Amino acid sequence: MTLILRGGRVLDPSQGMDKVADLVIEDGRICEITEAGKGNGSAVEDVSGLLVTPGLVDIHVHLREPGFEYKEDIESGTRAAAAGGFTSVCCMPNTEPAIDTPAVVRQIIERAEAVGSARVFPIASMTRAMAGDRLSEIADLKAAGACAISDDAFPVQNAETMRRGMEYCAQFGMTVMTHNEDQSLTVGGAMNEGLTATVMGVPGIPRVAEDIGAARNILLSRLTGCRLHLLHISTATTVEFLRWAKREGAPVTGETAPHYVTLTDEACADFNTNAKMNPPLRRAEDREALKAGLADGTVDVIATDHAPHARHEKEREFDKAPFGILGLETAFGLVYTHLVVPGVLTLHDAIRAMTIAPAAALGLPVGTLKPGAFADVSVFNLSERWTVEPSTFRSKSRNTPFGGWELLGKPVMTVLGGRIVRA
Partner 1 sequence: MNNLLGLRELDAEDIRHVLATAANLREILGRSVKKVPTLRGRTVVTLFYEASTRTRTSFELAAKYMSADAVNISVAQSSVSKGESLKDTLRTLESVTADCIVIRHSSSGAAHMAARYLKIPVINAGDGRHEHPTQGLLDALTIADHLRPDTGFDFSGLTVAIVGDLAHSRVARSNVWGLTKLGATVRWCGPATLLPSDADRLPVQVTTDLREGIADADVVMVLRLQTERMEKGLLPSLREYSRLWGINATTLRWAKPEVVVMHPGPMNRGVEIAADVADGLGPGATVIEDQVHNGVAVRMACLYLLMDTGSPRVEDKL
Q: Which residues are catalytic?
A: 305
Return the H-helix or E-strand segment holding 141: helix 138-144
Contacts of 365 by beta carbon, 8 Å cutoff, 6+ apart: 359, 373, 374
Q: Which stretch binds partner 1 (CB under 8 A): 39-47, 173-181, 194-202, 415-423?
A: 194-202
- Return the number of the residue (201 or 249) whose C-beta is nearest partner 1: 201
- Interface residue with partner 1, options 93, 132, 194, 401 (CB under 8 A): 194
What gap in Å lies between CA 181 and CA 68, rounded to an integer? Answer: 24
Contacts of 69 by beta carbon, 8 Å cutoff, 6+ apart: none
Q: Which stretch binds partner 1 (CB under 8 A): 150-158, 196-204, 333-341, 411-419?
A: 196-204
Which residues lie across from 420 on neighbouring strands? 415
CB of 202 to partner 1, least distance (A): 5
| Interface of this chain with partner 1, residues 364 to 403, rule: CB under 8 A | none
SS3 state of residue 68: coil
Q: Which stretch binds partner 1 (CB under 8 A): 105-113, 161-169, 285-293, 310-318?
A: 310-318
- Is 184 a binding residue for partner 1 by CB under 8 A? The answer is no
What gap in Å lies between CA 181 and CA 321, rounded to an integer? Answer: 19
- Return the number of the residue (55 or 204) whose C-beta is nearest partner 1: 204
- Interface residue with partner 1, options 13, 55, 204, 358 (CB under 8 A): 204
Check whether the bond before 66 is cis (ω within 30° of 0): yes
- Is 206 a binding residue for partner 1 by CB under 8 A? The answer is yes
Closest CA to 214 of 190, 236, 187: 236
What gap in Å lies between CA 267 and CA 262, rounded to an integer? Answer: 10
Contacts of 115 by beta carbon, 8 Å cutoff, 6+ apart: 74, 75, 78
- Interface residue with partner 1, options 19, 38, 134, 316 (CB under 8 A): 316
Alpha helices in 177-300 (DSSP H): 195-200, 207-224, 236-247, 258-262, 284-295
Specify the DSSP class assigned to residue 15. G
- Return the number of the residue (134 or 311) whose C-beta is nearest partner 1: 311
Q: Build a one-symbol-per-residue string for 251-290: x at contacts with partner 1 by CB under 8 A, - elsewhere.
A: -------------------xx-------------------
- Is 312 a binding residue for partner 1 by CB under 8 A? The answer is yes
Instruction: State phi, psi for 345 to the nearest 5 degrees.
Output: -125, 145
- Is 318 a binding residue for partner 1 by CB under 8 A? The answer is yes
CB of 73 to partner 1, least distance (A): 24
- Interface residue with partner 1, options 40, 158, 198, 383 (CB under 8 A): 198
- Interface residue with partner 1, options 42, 160, 249, 320 (CB under 8 A): 320
Residues that bind partner 1 (CB under 8 A): 193-195, 197-204, 206, 270-271, 312, 315-320
